[in-house]
């Protein structure tokens, strides 16, 4: 089965299950309050980490280095903010793991290591194929 289809069906089912289980333990009002609290605190923490990543990226640019990790980390933080805004406990947990710098570094290393083999198999060429035609000055005047 397609992974995207599994995620589209599976994530809401997991969230509904967790809403019911946690709501039965702490009550409906407290569950809603907890969801809103994690969203607000999470977005503020993502903003803080985003500014730290931006600052580190600027430091890399000042050193004339390409801030590759900072760019990937910034995209990961944007995804984490999206997950924290979506109501749910499972998405909040994944979002919080992506916001914390230590766990984000571990997740990104595993993701890069996993995908590095897939993308390194492509053949790199040191030349560009093409055709050319030499135009003389006489041809330019006719056009």
pLDDT in tens, 66-105: 888 889 899 999 999 999 988 899 999 999 999 998 998 9
pLDDT of residue 130: 76
Q: Is residue 128, in this structure, part of any structural domain at all?
A: no
Contact assessment for residue 43 and residue 84, using Cβ atoms and an 8 Å cutoff: yes
For the entire predicted model, the pTM comes to 0.72
CA distance 116 to 41: 34
State which residues form the domain around 22: 9-119
For tokens 């135009």, name the residue: 135
Q: What is the pLDDT of residue 37?
A: 93
pLDDT category, 143, cuts 50, 70, 90?
Answer: low
In a domain, 143, yes or no: no
pLDDT tens digits, one per residue of 7-28: 889 999 999 999 999 999 999 9
Flag whether 37 is in a domain.
yes
Nearest CA among 47, 113, 93 for reference residue 74: 47
What is d(CA 77, CA 70) in angstroms, rounded to the nearest whole number? 10
**In this structure, is residue 28 part of a structural domain?**
yes
- Is residue 130 a part of any domain in this protein? no
pLDDT score recorded for residue 115? 78
- Neighbour count for residue 107 (Cβ, 10 Å): 15
Based on the structure, what is the number of domains in the chain? 1
- The DSSP output letter for 64 is T
Q: Does residue 113 lie in a domain region?
A: yes
């Amino acid at each position: 089965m397609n992974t995207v289809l599994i995620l589209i069906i599976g994530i809401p089912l997991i969230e509904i299950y967790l809403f019911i289980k946690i709501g039965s333990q702490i009550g409906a009002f407290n569950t809603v309050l907890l969801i809103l609290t994690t969203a607000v605190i999470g977005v503020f923490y993502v903003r803080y980490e985003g500014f730290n990543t931006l600052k580190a990226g600027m430091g890399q640019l000042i050193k004339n280095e390409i801030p590759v990790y900072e760019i990937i980390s910034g995209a990961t933080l944007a995804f984490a903010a999206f997950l924290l805004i979506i109501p749910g406990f499972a998405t909040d947990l994944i979002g919080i793991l992506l916001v914390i710098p230590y766990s984000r570094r571990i997740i990104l290393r595993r993701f890069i290591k996993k995908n590095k083999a897939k993308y390194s198999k492509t053949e790199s060429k040191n030349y560009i194929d093409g055709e050319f035609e030499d135009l003389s000055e006489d041809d330019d005047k006719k056009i």
